[in-house]
Amino acid sequence: MLDFYRLKPKPGKLMSNKCKKFVLIAAASFLLLTTSCSSKNNAGNIPGSETSGSDLEVVEEMDESEAHDGLFNTKDDHDPGQTIENAQNEPETVPKVALYNGSGSWADNVETLREFFVSYEIEYGLVDEHNIIDPELLNNYEIIVLPGGGAADYRYEISDHDSIRSFVNDGGLFIGFCAGAYYAADIFKWQGTEYDYPLGIFSGSSIGPLSGQINWGEQALLNLNPEHPANENFEHELDIYYFDGPYFKPHASNEIHAATIEILAHYDVNDQPAVIAGRFGEGGYLLFGPHPEMDGYGRDEGANWPWLYSSLLWFSNW
CA–centroid distance for 254 within its chain: 26
Matching CATH number, 97-316, of 1.20.140.10, 3.30.930.10, 3.30.70.260, 3.40.50.880: 3.40.50.880
Q: Note the pLDDT of residue 42.
A: 39
- Span(s) in the chain for CATH 3.40.50.880: 97-316
Whole-number pLDDT of residue 246: 98
Distance CA 225, CA 262 (A): 10
Cα–Cα distance, 163 to 176 (Å, whole number): 16
What Rg, from alpha-carbon coordinates, does the chain have? 29
Predicted pLDDT at 74 = 26
pLDDT of residue 91: 52
Q: Residue 194: which H helix or E strand, with range?
A: strand 193-196
Do β-strands 283-288 and 273-280 pair in parallel, antiparallel, or remain unpaired? Answer: antiparallel
| Residue from 287, 289, 308 nearest 184 by CA | 287
Element (H or E) spanning 267, and its range? strand 262-267
Write phi, then psi, for 93 (nearest 5 degrees). -155, 180
pTM, rounded to two decimals: 0.72
Distance, in Å, from the CA atom of 240 to the CA atom of 300, rounded to the nearest integer, reads 14
For the chain, 318 residues long, give each residue's pLDDT as a single digit of tens: 333 223 333 333 334 444 344 434 444 444 444 443 333 343 333 333 333 333 333 333 333 333 333 322 222 333 333 333 333 455 578 999 999 999 999 999 999 999 999 999 999 999 999 999 999 999 999 999 999 999 999 999 999 999 999 999 999 999 999 999 999 999 999 999 999 999 999 999 999 999 999 999 999 999 999 999 999 999 999 999 999 999 999 998 877 777 889 999 999 999 999 999 999 999 999 999 999 999 876 545 456 999 999 999 999 999
3-state secondary structure of 98: strand
Q: Are 288 and 181 in contact (CB under 8 A)?
A: yes
Contact 213, 220 (CB under 8 A): no
pLDDT of amino acid 89? 52
- Residue 272, SS3 per DSSP: coil
d(CA 20, CA 30): 15
Contact 172, 141 (CB under 8 A): yes
Q: How far is CA 102 from the centre of its chain?
A: 28
Q: Report the alpha-carbon distance of residue 220 to residue 307 in Å, rounded.
A: 15
CA triplet 118, 122, 123: central angle to 5 degrees? 100
d(CA 100, CA 142) in angstroms, rounded, equals: 14
Helix, strand, coil % (nearest 5) of the chain?
35, 25, 40
Kind and range of the H or E element at 127?
strand 124-127
CA distance 274 to 267: 6
